[in-house]
Structure 1
Amino acid sequence: MKKFWKWKNQAQTETAPAERTLFLNGTIAEESWFDDDVTPQLFKEELLAGSGDITVWINSPGGDCVAAAQIYNMLMDYKGNVTVKIDGIAASAASVIAMAGTKVLMSPVSMLMIHNPMTVAFGDSGEMQKAIEMLGSVKDSIINAYEIKTGLSRAKLSHLMDAETWMDAHKAVEFGFADEIMQRSDNTEDVEVPAVSMLYSKANVVNSLMDKIAHKCAIDPKPAVQERTGRSVDELRANLNAIKNYI
């Protein structure tokens, strides 16, 4: 089994308390945790093998939502403080795990992405409808985690997920997905928040592009057909016959 997590423990010293650090790198579970009793149990045993506060470093594009949900629950249930630090990317399922942090910090060059859950389905229309309903339920459960952390409305969160939204550190703090932006330990000055932060929506970009293409390729409507003001053929023929009668 290829593990996507790694623990680093530092024993307590006379000048520093014990530290527990968890690194989550790469795809969250290359194989699904659905109906898997071994992998989640191994993660839980390692999590509970020590005590005290934990720092979780995340750099992941996401992965299995079942694995993310179980890790989220384990971290939420952990007795100590959980500080999440996003140093690269926390996308998709990884963003769900990040919401378990007592405090969430993002590197000034990191990104966070949320979107709708996806799956692969096979079968008739009945099976397709079941898959649609399942995805709706999964989306609701993901929104629960985002709502608890951010305080945003479910409608707002659903819209952000529909649009596949990418956020830089400043926008993530603004929306409540993160609490602070990481700084150098020797930098005690307040960091000025830029006037413009980055929010990228894939759906908005596609819609904007399609509007531009439609405008560029628009075909001018056909000119209106002018109404005829002359006489019809039948009228001319009748007049001609009348003339012939007098010749």
Structure 2
Amino acid sequence: MKRFWNWNQDGDQRQLAISGVIAPDSWIHDNVSPQVFQDELNESQGPIDLWLNSPGGDCTAASQIYTMLMNYPNDVNVKISGIAASAASVIAMAGTTVSMAPSAMLMIHNPLTIVGGQEKDLDHAAQMLVETKEAIINAYELKTNLPREKISAMMDDETWMNVNKAIELGFADQMLGDDHQPTDCYSYSDKQSDLVVLNKLKRTSQNTISVKSLQKRLSLLSH
């Protein structure tokens, strides 16, 4: 098992670092690595600072990590120190908050695969890529609230985002080192403010409270 993550403890704050290629040995046929990550995640319940610097990697591994972090009962504060590209950008979307270093980059693009075989095998692979893209869009849409069509077009174009653009589009919430003005480094809107609050509320709300209900409450508060 090639580890691409490490844990540290800083007082009550848990520190998780994900760096390099995600799952260089695919998790698809690996029952060990995902369980190890899950077990280590569950060792404590304190808030997590996730330092992320990865060019991407295995979509299946990224999806599993994203789901584990989304189900974690406390805050997960993602901090992109260098790059969060491809599959790594999916993991970033699990953050209660997403911060980026002034020089960091975030990149989204269409999923890739390598396949050989008969025509039916190629057709099957093409359909798999279509469904994989839709699944990835789900994570981006939940974080950004952008239209699916816009996200799809951005993936088609292989979109690179510096911290300013990522904040503008809702992929990030703030610039690292700019805590007093969390999203003022490019443009700030009431909509983005609501999304940041929603991300926090979704972590602490009970299952009986829907996202639509939370959005309605925010709408009432803003009037």
Query: Which range, TM-score by smaller chain?
Result: 0.7 to 0.9
Q: Which residue pairs with 2:185 in the alignment?
A: 193
Matching residue within 132, 140, 149 for 1:146: 140
Q: Which residue pairs with 1:176 in the alignment?
A: 170
What is the CA RMSD across the aligned residues, in angstroms? Answer: 1.6
* Cα distance in structure 2, aligned partners of 1:3 and 1:50: 20
Instruction: Assess, with a 3 A threshold, how the Cα gap between structure 1 residues 173 and 194 changes in structure 2: closer, same or farther.
Output: closer
- Report how many residues are paired: 187
Q: Which residue pairs with 2:55 in the alignment?
A: 61
* Structure 1: unaligned runs, 5 residues or longer: 12-17, 196-247
Identical-residue share of aligned pairs (%): 52
8 Å contact kept, 2:137–2:148: yes
Matches within 5 A, 1:29-40: 29-40=23-34
1:3 and 2:27 are equivalent in the alignment: no
* Cα distance in structure 2, aligned partners of 1:108 and 1:45: 33
1:82 and 2:76 are equivalent in the alignment: yes
* Cα distance in structure 1, aligned partners of 2:178 and 2:91: 25
* Cα distance in structure 2, aligned partners of 1:8 and 1:50: 12
For the residue of structure 1 that corresponds to 2:155, the secondary structure is: helix
For the residue of structure 1 that corresponds to 2:79, the secondary structure is: strand
Matches within 5 A, 1:98-109: 98-109=92-103
Instruction: Assess, with a 3 A threshold, how the Cα gap between structure 1 residues 191 and 167 changes in structure 2: closer, same or farther.
Output: closer
* Cα distance in structure 2, aligned partners of 1:114 and 1:190: 23
Q: Which residue pairs with 2:36 in the alignment?
A: 42
Matches within 5 A, 1:210-229: none
Higher gyration radius (CA): 1
Instruction: Assess, with a 3 A threshold, how the Cα gap between structure 1 residues 134 and 172 changes in structure 2: closer, same or farther.
Output: same
8 Å contact kept, 2:163–2:175: yes
1:110 and 2:137 are equivalent in the alignment: no
Instruction: Assess, with a 3 A threshold, how the Cα gap between structure 1 residues 171 and 131 changes in structure 2: closer, same or farther.
Output: same
* Cα distance in structure 2, aligned partners of 1:45 and 1:131: 33
8 Å contact kept, 2:175–2:182: no
8 Å contact kept, 2:63–2:91: yes
C-alpha deviation, 1:194, in angstroms: 5.3
The amino acid of 1:110's aligned partner reads A
8 Å contact kept, 2:65–2:91: yes
C-alpha deviation, 1:182, in angstroms: 1.1
Q: Which residue pairs with 1:71 in the alignment?
A: 65
* Cα distance in structure 1, aligned partners of 2:13 and 2:85: 26
Q: Which residue pairs with 2:115 in the alignment?
A: 121
Q: Which residue pairs with 2:16 in the alignment?
A: 22
For the residue of structure 2 that corresponds to 1:87, the secondary structure is: strand
* Cα distance in structure 1, aligned partners of 2:133 and 2:182: 37
* Structure 2: unaligned runs, 5 residues or longer: 188-223
Once the two structures are superposed, residues 136-188 of structure 1 have per-residue CA deviations (whole angstroms, 9 ceiling, x without a partner) of: 01000000000000000110000000000000000000000001111167xx5
Instruction: Assess, with a 3 A threshold, how the Cα gap between structure 1 residues 132 and 189 changes in structure 2: closer, same or farther.
Output: closer
**Higher-RCO chain (CA-CA 8 Å, sequence separation at least 6):** 2
The amino acid of 1:174's aligned partner reads E
The amino acid of 1:193's aligned partner reads C
The amino acid of 2:36's aligned partner reads L
8 Å contact kept, 2:173–2:182: no
